[in-house]
Structure 1
Amino acid sequence: MKKDKLTDDEQLAFIDYLKNSLKNGFSINSSLEIMPALWPKRATTLNCLSERMQTGASLADELFKLGFSNTTVVQINLSLQQGNLIECLEQLSVLHRLKHAQIRKLQAELTYPFVLAGMMALLLVFMQTFVVSNLGNGSDHSGDCLILVLVLCVIGGSSLIAQIVWLLKKQDYRSLTKLAKYPLIGPTITLYIRYILVYDIGLLLASGFSLQKMCEYAADQQKGSLQQALGLKIQKKLLQGQALVEIIKEEPFLPDSLILFLKTGSKRKFLSQQCLLLGKSLFLELTYQIEKMVVNVQPVCFVLIGLCVIGMYLKLLLPMYAMMQGM
């Protein structure tokens, strides 16, 4: 049920608590048993989670029920089976904190434009009610047309943003593929996916997995998830006899840097270190791209507000100009 799902802030708190508890030597079940006492507001939900875990339920499946995304669930499932859950939780904690920090920054950037937009809406109502009605409608409706176009743009932009937020919450292969095709945010989404995949590949290589085993392992993960869909896709191409280099070139979610690593002919341990290092560089680039996107939001809003001001002036002045011509 929706009331049992954790919010984004609660998911971050859950990850941080579980990570710190495991670092202090507690098992997963012991950590979950203590959590309801430390989190009274969510005691009922956490008690149910602890009881299901005691009966042998999968942590990944339970986290999916609590509202965690497909990508997060699969990463936790992979780390559980590879024995590096603490490292995975640290990575997820960093990602969630980055997301929350950028959301807060975005809210701060949008506060001033939204206040201005509200004031302009009130001014527009005043002009329509008291000024334009007294001056007469006039024959030129350029101001009305511009404002109407801007209103339609705002409605379309709002629906687009709502769709993006919905797809980001799902984070399965289909939704991430759609997001990667969106203008402006597409390259950043692709960079995020590459970071996730390269990091997972590095962990699997460190555990001694071969390419075929990696594909089989990924194909057994949460149905519809990014890792499961790509695992099936790559496995199918390998069975058809396609070379790995060609597969990497054709798959937009796999960086070409992996081809260079393969050509060096290094052992799995060294390849794992290279992938993890590449993952860190991709994360730094991802951080930069997200900050750049957030900073550019406010100028775009001011451009739209400027166009609205022009529309309001046209709406006010053109009827006056028509009246002066009729004198």
Structure 2
Amino acid sequence: MSIIWPKRKKMMDDLNQAMKSGAHFPKELIKLGFSKTTVTQINLAMGQGNLVECLEQLTELSRLKNEQIKKLKAELSYPFILAIMMVLLLAFMQTFVTTQFSDSNEHTGDFLLVGLILIALGFIYYFSKMLNLLAKQDYKSMKKLSAYPLIGAVIKKYVNYLLIYDIGLLLASGFSLQKMCEYAAKQTKGSLQQYLGEKVGNKLAQGKSLKEIIKEEPFIPDTLLILIQTGSERSNLSNRFLIFGRSLFNDLTARIEKLVVNVQPICFILIGICIIGMYLKLLLPMYAMMQGI
């Protein structure tokens, strides 16, 4: 790997030495920056002999993420330039208005501009917090993100895809539902799979029906119950889960592309509102002075 990926030679050498010293592979992956959910998927696949399929799935997700990041950067490049120009114009206008209309008692434009700046800062905070939660990808982070406007539905679809695909792979390995929960509960603490496996397993042990559990858990799609109640053999049921997972992935791709495309119009709307605020800051003091003449 260090030969194929020379830029990461030191990282690979350190990982190699750690593994030779008896380090736990999932823990080393977490140290390298992988999310707990991704590490748990790899660990599940390694334990059940489905590593190739798991890596193919993760590769598709990574490719989708990289493609959408490129598109997002392209979408934001023009609004970013406009935002820089607007900041420079704002600095000039602030100096001009302060100098020329220092005697004016009209401060409506100032209040409006401060409000717009606070909205912009709030948007930046919202975006940075969203990125921080996305990097963690544990159950609590995903649940918080699912309640966020704009991206909540996409996050739910992403988690649905991960769960359905993992269940399909475990079914192919001969796992029952109870065994899946027990096995998932032993995985990386705090990961999506570990939390749900422990939670669902405890509810099954308490005598709750699968229908009640699915209705109560926001990340488990209702379609799961329909698939399980078909009464198919385990191999056929596994194939159905994997096919359903593929359809969820296609839907996820379409939703993300739609979300990325809508980013630029939203940025233009925010910039337009800020430009209106700047014009009002300039014109309102002038209008107040004209009324006093």
Range class of TM-score, shorter chain: over 0.9
**Contact kept? 1:221, 1:228, Cα under 8 Å:** yes
Match of 2:128 among 129, 137, 162: 162
**Contact kept? 1:132, 1:316, Cα under 8 Å:** no
The C-alpha deviation readout for 1:229-256, integer Å capped at 9, x for no partner, is 0011011111111111221121111111
What is the match of residue 215 of structure 2?
Answer: 249
Q: CA deviation at 1:288?
A: 0.8
Match of 1:186 among 152, 156, 160: 152
Match of 2:48 among 49, 62, 82: 82
**Contact kept? 1:173, 1:229, Cα under 8 Å:** yes
**Contact kept? 2:165, 2:245, Cα under 8 Å:** yes
Alignment of 1:74-223 (within 5 A): 74-136=40-102, 138-223=104-189
Distance 2:67 2:170 in 1: 30
Say which structure, 1 or 2, has more relative contact order (CA 8 Å, 6+ apart). 2
Alignment of 1:66 onto 2:27: no
- CA gap of 1:137–1:286, structure 2 versus 1, over 3 A, is farther
What is the match of residue 263 of structure 1?
Answer: 229
Q: CA deviation at 1:55?
A: 4.1
Q: CA deviation at 1:61?
A: 2.2
Q: CA deviation at 1:56?
A: 4.0
Which residue identity does 1:66 align to in structure 2?
Answer: L
Distance 1:137 1:62 in 2: 65
The C-alpha deviation readout for 1:131-162, integer Å capped at 9, x for no partner, is 45213452322221221111101111111111
Distance 1:56 1:258 in 2: 39
Over the aligned positions, Cα root-mean-square deviation in angstroms equals: 1.4
Q: CA deviation at 1:74?
A: 0.4
Judge which range, 266-275 or 196-205, deviates more. Answer: 266-275
Q: Percent identity of the aligned residues?
A: 60
Distance 1:179 1:46 in 2: 33
Match of 2:253 among 287, 302, 311: 287
Judge which range, 48-57 or 243-252, deviates more. Answer: 48-57
Which residue identity does 2:89 align to in structure 1?
Answer: L
What is the match of residue 53 of structure 1?
Answer: 19
Length-normalised TM-score, structure 1? 0.86
Match of 2:280 among 308, 314, 318: 314
**Contact kept? 2:159, 2:219, Cα under 8 Å:** yes
Length-normalised TM-score, structure 2? 0.96
Q: Report the 3-state secondary structure (helix = DSSP H, G, I; strand = E; otherwise coil) of the residue aligned with 1:232.
A: helix
Q: CA deviation at 1:84?
A: 1.4
**Contact kept? 2:116, 2:277, Cα under 8 Å:** no
Which residue identity does 1:203 align to in structure 2?
Answer: L
Which residue identity does 1:311 align to in structure 2?
Answer: G
Judge which range, 182-191 or 217-226, deviates more. Answer: 182-191
